[in-house]
Amino acid sequence: METIDAIILGIIQGLTEFLPVSSSGHLELGKAILGDNSIPEESLLFTVVLHFATALSTIVVFRKDILEIVKGLFQFKKNEETLFSLKIIISMIPAVLVGLFFEEQLEQLFGGNIMFVGFMLLITAALLWFADKAKSTRKSVSSSNAFIIGVAQAIAMLPGISRSGATISTSVLLGNDKTKAARFSFLMVIPLIFGKIAKDILSGDLAFSSENSTPIALGFIAAFISGLFACTWMISLVKKSKLTYFAVYCIIVGLLAIGFGFTK
């Protein structure tokens, strides 16, 4: 992978991770347009590293919330922070199971299957459209809701299904407040990404060669910096903007991706 391509893809990841438009789908589209010929395993490695960068940017943006959660946990008693942490753990279960039992099958979808990405973007658009029709409430995410949202997160491991779009939409369709749904969506992925990185390091799957270390490092930096801006922007955007706008965008990009797939 060329250095400039890695930086471009890093910026794409950072900007699209927090918008409900599928960062993984846009990465696959970007790789196809830039002519990246990585084998599926290498392609997924780069995607995981960029997701790690945006997870770090999430920690920076939500540092006060995370600090409060940590303080609450160290009180070693049942409180709002321990209950929230329990919900995060519950939400992780579906994605962990998918990662453990279907990792090889998942890797094969990260090798430039543009037409598949296009169809998944159309599904994302449908989710966003239905969520936009849901009534506004002030309800917080419950434990049972957390598991269902976790199922949506597991499905969103497919390139083209927006993780934030799927989890926020599912949460809103369950009757939860949109702002609280966005906060839960952004925080629930942090331990999952760190767990994935730790697993790959311990198993030896996350190995950098001298040929790809520089592009991956620059892509990481680009994703982290652009992620800081996008996350901050999205927090205010989700309070006042309609998800339908993003649904329309996903439809347009999805149809273009399908059309691009037919020409290959």
Tell me the chain's radius of gyration from C-alpha atoms. 18
Q: What is the pLDDT of residue 33?
A: 76
pLDDT for res 110: 66
Looking at residue 210, its pLDDT comes to: 60
Within 13 A of 110's CA, how many CA atoms are on the CB side? Answer: 22
CA–CA distance, 37 with 66 (Å, rounded to integer):
39
Report, as ranges of residue numbers, the positions in the chain whose pLDDT lies below 70.
1, 36-44, 110-112, 204-212, 238-239, 241, 264
Rounded CA separation 177/120 (Å): 26
DSSP 251: H
In angstroms, rounded to a whole number, what is the distance separating the alpha carbons of residues 221 and 218? 5
Residues contacting 263, CB < 8 A, separation 6+: none
Residue 50 makes CB contacts below 8 A (sequence gap 6+) with: 9, 10, 13, 14, 23, 27, 219, 220, 223
The whole-number pLDDT of residue 39 equals 42
Residue type, 131: A
Q: How far apart are CA 3 and CA 245, in angstroms?
A: 33
pLDDT for the residue 204? 66
Percentages helix, strand, coil for the chain (3-state, rounded to 5) are 75, 0, 25
pLDDT for 170: 94
In the block, which residue shows the tokens 């691009």? 260
> In sequence order, what are the residues at sequence separation of 6 or more whose Cβ sits closer than 8 angstroms to the Cβ of residue 246?
19, 20, 21, 125, 128, 165
CA 207 to chain centre: 22
The reported pLDDT for the residue numbered 9 is 83
Q: Are 195 and 88 in contact (CB under 8 A)?
A: no
Residue ranges per structural domain of the chain:
3-262
pTM for the model? 0.83
pLDDT at 72: 86
- Structure tokens, 18: 């927090």
pLDDT of residue 209: 59
Per the listing, tokens 């994302």 go with 124
